[in-house]
Amino acid sequence: MRVLVDENLPRRAAVWLRGEGVDAVHVLEVLGAGGSDSDVWKLALDERRTILTRDRDFVGLLAAASAGSVVVIRVGNCTVAALLDWLGANWPAIALRLEAGERLIEEPSRRD
């Protein structure tokens, strides 16, 4: 599995994923700060990476495309430690869903 962690998540999320055996890179590691959503999207498609983000703008890009996958984390503002704890509790199920072919995952599930 290949993941591109968006700029709106901490670099430590990519480090944590790598520790779990995921081929993960952070946007800041490859594009630097301030890259546009379209730059992030293009990189993810070119490298066949799932975008892990808090930004729902990628949902629109995904809807208009025949390829790509996005995981939108919908947890409120929290510490990095709390986010990593959340990933630890939820990543195994998210990974299974991605491996099963789901292209859009919003966690927690969108209720509106």
Q: Is residue 6 part of a domain?
A: yes
Asked if the model's pLDDT at residue 110 lies above 80, the reply is no
Give the per-residue pLDDT at 112. Answer: 41
- Residue 94 in 3-state DSSP? helix
Q: One-letter amino acid identity for 22? A: V
Query: Which pair of structure tokens corresponds to residue 50?
Result: 């799932």
Q: Is residue 55 part of a domain?
A: yes
Give the per-residue pLDDT at 6. Answer: 96
Q: Is residue 112 part of a domain?
A: no
Domain tally, the chain: 1
Q: Is residue 76 part of a domain?
A: yes
Are the C-beta atoms of residues 71 and 91 closer than 8 Å to each other? no
Structural domain boundaries enclosing 32: 2-107
Query: Which pair of structure tokens corresponds to residue 78?
Result: 């929290």
pTM for the complete prediction? 0.92
Are the C-beta atoms of residues 28 and 96 closer than 8 Å to each other? no
Mean pLDDT throughout 57-84? 91
Give the per-residue pLDDT at 35. Answer: 81
CATH of the domain at 81: 3.40.50
Q: What is the pLDDT of residues 2-57, one digit of tens each?
A: 999 999 999 999 999 999 999 999 999 998 888 899 999 999 999 999 999 998 99
Q: Is residue 84 part of a domain?
A: yes
Give the per-residue pLDDT at 109. Answer: 55
Cα(64)–Cα(59) distance, integer angstroms: 9
Asked if the model's pLDDT at residue 71 lies above 50, the reply is yes
Q: Is residue 102 part of a domain?
A: yes
Mean pLDDT of the chain: 92
Q: What is the pLDDT of residues 74-93, one digit of tens each?
A: 888 889 999 999 999 999 99
